[in-house]
Amino acid sequence: MKKKLLALLLAAVMILSLAACGEKKTEQPSASGEGTSTEEPAAESSLHLGYDPETGEEFYGPYYDEWSDMTDDELYKMALEEDVTINIYATSSKMLKAEEPFEEKYPGLDIVVSDLDSDEVLNKAQIENETGNITADVLQTKDVNGSVFYEYYNRGIIEPFYPRDICAHIDEGNLKYSYPLYASQAFWYYNTEAFPDGQPITSWWQIIEKNDDGSQKYQLFTKEIGQESAYLSLFASFINNADEMAEDYKNIYGKDLEYTYDPSGFAFTVPENNAGVEYLWRFTQAEMTFIGDGDELVLAVHNSTKDKPALALASAGKIENQEESGYNIAWCINLTPYTALLNTESMFAVAGCNSPAGARLFIRYITGGADGESGGLKPFTKVGNWPLRDDVEDKKNPAKLSELGARPNDIDAIYAIYPDVQDMWTYWRNLKK
């Protein structure tokens, strides 16, 4: 709790000015199209999520302002009076497919998509904000550990945009930290030929089980977890939900969990008798093979046998190898206490951008528009991506998101302990002989 408060206070110190939260109205931005082009840092946004120094209270999305209730037509008219070139910094090359249909739908506007990796998207936006030479109007990226939320929202580099009519079709739990484009997740894969009766595990604890002779029950394949922020965030969530982890252990094995980890060796306080920490410790000591390519991860499962069974942690989309390559693979779903965290790709408006109305018009378009039929979501419709709108049909995935056992990512709680989890993983993994 102290770390969490410290993180919030540090974020607040960085903020030069904050508006009141919740439903309070902010002054409507000008549609003159005069962007910031001086060498002075851009003015910070008056819209912030996370902390209100006036009340000392936490607050989160959805955050509704004057932009939230504007229609596509209203935004379009305003956009034509701004800089008509709308620059999108995206982490998905699929965003390029939106350029032509958007421009056909909204003549006079020009979309320029820059296909970048996540670090480039954020670093470029930060540099532009600091120098006052803002080019980006829209950012597309994901936040799995709170770094985007606390280090970009709360520093005024990006600002929230929640279109009220579309948000009415999205569960509020998925609107807390950002406005989502779609959700993805990772699964443990198993070999369907080795286990024809279905998945061999129902709990995260069973993944690291040992046989009676002390040998490891399953060969484990995964990307290098210490370099994967989404996976470290998942372990952080287990620590934050330690009671659930402890209860799950007792439900599986009929006895209380024994704590075996040594909290010494760290410059921070490791919580005592925490089932999530215990899981992290045991997992770091397991035999596992790190493979950087997701297709090779599921191939390792396909090549495994019942005598030497394997599990691999990989993105949901790798299930396509089942049909495309004939792999004997399937997802392990509804694991206890929960299968995974939802990784949400989100859309952000850039504070101080040259095309504020155009940016919001594009965000509405790419997330389906008022009725879900804009066509913007089409490039992102694939196996392993789930739409979060209740009025958009998921035609690609073999199961609905609600049937898989994942939960929204509580990045506020994860942000407070993420560095510690990363340190614990690295230190304990290095102890593995």
Q: What is the pLDDT of residue 156?
A: 87
Q: Name the strand (E) or helix (H) holding 425.
A: helix 411-431
**pLDDT beyond 50 at 28:** no
Sign of the alpha-carbon dihedral angle for 273, 278, 281, 285: positive
Average pLDDT over residues 325-337: 98
**pLDDT beyond 80 at 270:** yes
CA distances from 144 to 132, 183, 308, 418 (A): 28, 11, 33, 10
Q: What is the pLDDT of residue 2?
A: 36
Instruction: With beta carbons less than 8 A apart as the criterion, state whether 136 and 128 touch.
Output: yes
Beta bridge partners of 349: 138, 159
pLDDT band (50, 70, 90) for residue 226: very high
Condensed to tens digits (0 to 9), the pLDDT of residues 159-214 reads 989 999 999 999 999 999 999 999 999 999 999 999 999 999 999 999 999 999 99
**pLDDT beyond 50 at 11:** no
Domains and CATH numbers, the chain: 2-183+345-397 (3.40.190.10), 186-340+417-431 (3.40.190.10)
Instruction: With beta carbons less than 8 A apart as the criterion, state whether 75 and 360 touch.
Output: yes
Q: Name the strand (E) or helix (H) holding 122.
A: helix 118-131
Task: Tell which residue, 127, 129, 133, 137, has the closest CA to residue 37.
Answer: 133
Radius of gyration of the chain (CA): 23
> How many CB atoms lie under 10 A from the CB of residue 332?
25
Percent of the chain topping pLDDT 90 = 83
**pLDDT beyond 80 at 42:** no
Which one is predicted more confidently, 12 or 232? 232
Condensed to tens digits (0 to 9), the pLDDT of residues 271-306 reads 999 999 999 999 999 999 999 999 999 999 999 999
| Residue 152 buriedness (CB in 10 A; 0-12 / 13-18 / 19+) | buried
Q: Name the strand (E) or helix (H) holding 79.
A: helix 72-79
From CA 292, how far away is CA 289, in angstroms rounded?
Answer: 10
Average pLDDT over residues 366-374: 97
Q: What is the pLDDT of residue 138?
A: 98
Q: Which two tokens stand for residue 46?
A: 């008056």
Instruction: With beta carbons less than 8 A apart as the criterion, state whether 139 and 121 touch.
Output: yes
Q: What is the pLDDT of residue 136?
A: 98
Condensed to tens digits (0 to 9), the pLDDT of residues 242-269 reads 999 999 999 999 999 999 999 998 999 9
Q: What is the pLDDT of residue 105?
A: 98
